[in-house]
């Protein structure tokens, strides 16, 4: 089955700097790659996703890139703000007739004011 | 719109006891999921359901059972709880209407098994 590796496990940046989180996946059949943000005490919430027919997608300060050949994808947050502090999870779709996802182990991002 | 509700918010349970975690969604989503979240291990799928009346096993199904009698409800049962089932449990749902769609998560249930 699919395996997703996520790095780094923790990331600390200064406010205004950029943050990059990287993930690799094992199954070349995966075609959907979402990123979720989890704030303390809450459930994860989708912030951006990308499908295998697209190489890059942006939404304001957030962007995701996908390299299908290398089987890796990355989350880029520019001009970080303290409210970006959270745990971020990448995920990759599992093949089959469902919408099952395999998640990475998460990255705890701290943005220092 | 409530989205997904879970109950209870938290629970302390003696080992060997039976426990059912409740999950209800009001979005008329076809698919529902149960995950457990443990520190350093991320989110792991326990069971899922693509539609009412069907269920499937995820990555870590042992010790858990689910049912999907209708579209809205997807309870998770621990028949005889063990301390290794101490975790935060999240229920999620997605439309499953052709192509991958967003999974919406509930607020979670924190379960401690002593």
Q: Looking at CA atoms only, how far is residue A76 from chain B in angstroms?
A: 20
Bridge partner residues of A59 (DSSP): A62
Q: How confident is the model at residue A15 (pLDDT cuts 50, 70, 90)?
A: very high
Q: Which of A35, A40, A98, A104 to mutate to test the interface with B (most CBs of B within 10 A)?
A: A98
Q: Which of A4, A10, A100 to mutate to test the interface with B (most CBs of B within 10 A)?
A: A100
In the predicted structure, residue B3 carries a pLDDT above the cut 90? yes
Nearest of A80, A111, A81, A113 to residue A11 by alpha carbon: A111
Bridge partner residues of A57 (DSSP): A64
Residue that wins the pLDDT comparison between B78 and B42: B78
What is the structure's pLDDT at B60?
A: 96
Structural tokens at position B48: 């899922």
Convert the pLDDT of each residue in A48-100 to its tens digit: 999 988 899 999 999 999 999 999 999 999 999 999 999 999 999 987 767 89
In the predicted structure, residue B1 carries a pLDDT above the cut 70? no
Q: Do B101 and A99 touch (CB under 8 A)?
A: yes
Bridge partner residues of A64 (DSSP): A57, A75
Per-residue pLDDT, averaged over B93-111, amounts to 90
Chain B interface includes A97 (CB < 8 A): yes
Chain B interface includes A49 (CB < 8 A): yes
Q: B4 contacts in A (CB within 8 Å)?
A: 43
Q: Looking at CA atoms only, how far is residue A22 from chain B in angstroms?
A: 15
What is the structure's pLDDT at A97?
A: 65
Structural tokens at position A78: 């520019």
Nearest of B5, B10, B8 to residue B24 by alpha carbon: B5
Average pLDDT, chain A: 94
Chain B interface includes A99 (CB < 8 A): yes
Signed CA dihedral, B26, B27, B30, B34: sign only: negative
């Amino acid at each position: 089955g699919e395996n997703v590796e996520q790095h780094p496990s923790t990331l600390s940046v200064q406010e205004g700097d950029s943050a990059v989180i990287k993930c690799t996946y094992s199954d070349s059949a995966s075609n959907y790659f979402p990123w979720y943000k989890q704030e303390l005490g809450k459930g994860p919430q989708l912030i951006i996703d990308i499908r295998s027919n697209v190489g890059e997608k942006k939404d304001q300060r957030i962007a995701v890139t996908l390299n299908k050949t290398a089987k890796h994808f990355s989350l880029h947050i520019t001009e970080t703000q303290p409210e970006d502090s959270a745990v971020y999870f990448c995920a990759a779709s599992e093949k089959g007739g469902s919408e099952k996802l395999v998640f990475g182990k998460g990255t705890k991002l701290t943005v220092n004011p | 719109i409530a989205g997904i509700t879970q109950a209870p918010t938290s629970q302390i349970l003696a080992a060997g006891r039976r426990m059912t975690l409740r999950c209800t969604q009001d979005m008329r989503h076809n698919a529902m999921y149960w995950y457990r979240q443990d520190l350093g291990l991320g989110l792991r799928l326990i069971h899922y359901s693509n539609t009412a009346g069907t269920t499937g096993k995820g990555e870590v199904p042992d010790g858990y059972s689910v049912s999907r009698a209708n579209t809205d409800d997807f309870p998770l049962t621990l028949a005889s709880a063990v301390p290794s089932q101490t975790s935060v449990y999240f229920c999620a749902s997605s439309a499953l209407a052709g192509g991958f769609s967003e999974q919406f998560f509930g607020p979670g249930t924190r379960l401690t098994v002593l």
